[in-house]
Amino acid sequence: EGICGAFVTLPQRPTTVKTRVMARRQQMLRLDSEDASPLSSADQEALLSVIAEQLPAHDVVILSDYGKGGLTHISEMIRIARAADKPVLVDPKGDEWGKYAGATVITPNRSELKQVVGSWKNDEELAAKAGKLRGDLGLEALLVTRSEEGMTLFADEVHHQPAKAQEVFDVSGAGDTVIATLAVMLAAGAAWDEAIRVANIAAGIVVGKLGTAVVTRQELLAAL
């Protein structure tokens, strides 16, 4: 697939191991064995150095926050990428989102957004809360994935994609599929509405597969 890994290796730190408990082709729960403490200053500097080295050869940056300690310096990562004129997409975690300020777009799911802005009674209230959050963080856009309600992108205009009715086998990795597809579309020069249309279709393909699956170019073209 043309993927080239550029890693920072930490000999004393275990790699996170995720154990998925399945029943009747459905994931019931996941158990993580890990060390999620923040990285040391030296390790963070090494990671920032790798990012700076990689930036010139790439068109877009995804920062996926799993709360595992690796993105302690995410504000600096965003600053470096934006200074190099690269779009930055962030998949957030937790309830302290000030560190994501300056990103191009963040992609929370419904429950993650409620944790930060509180609940809403209707789409108008959601749009108001999304607009305020965009302003507070200086985002170009906010993409909210809303499970059975599809996904909504709040930018200068609002774009909504309804969920496609289908049998869902496993939602593992659906959010990753959305942000990855969105990144590819933006890097290719697509407008927001077209980018989320394709991301929505890709997510619909991947939830119909068991386990953390990928969407191939051929599957995406067929679905389009």
Residue numbers annotated as active site: 176
Instruction: Yes or no: say if 87 and 43 are a contact pair by the CB < 8 Å rule.
Output: no
The burial class, CB within 10 Å (0-12 / 13-18 / 19+), for 129 is buried
Strands (E), 65-183: 88-91, 105-106, 141-145, 151-154, 158-161
* Short-list 27, 20, 78, 87, CA closest to 58: 87
d(CA 169, CA 174): 11
* Short-list 218, 186, 212, 213, CA closest to 199: 186
Tokens of 174: 């659906």
Instruction: Yes or no: say if 143 and 106 are a contact pair by the CB < 8 Å rule.
Output: yes
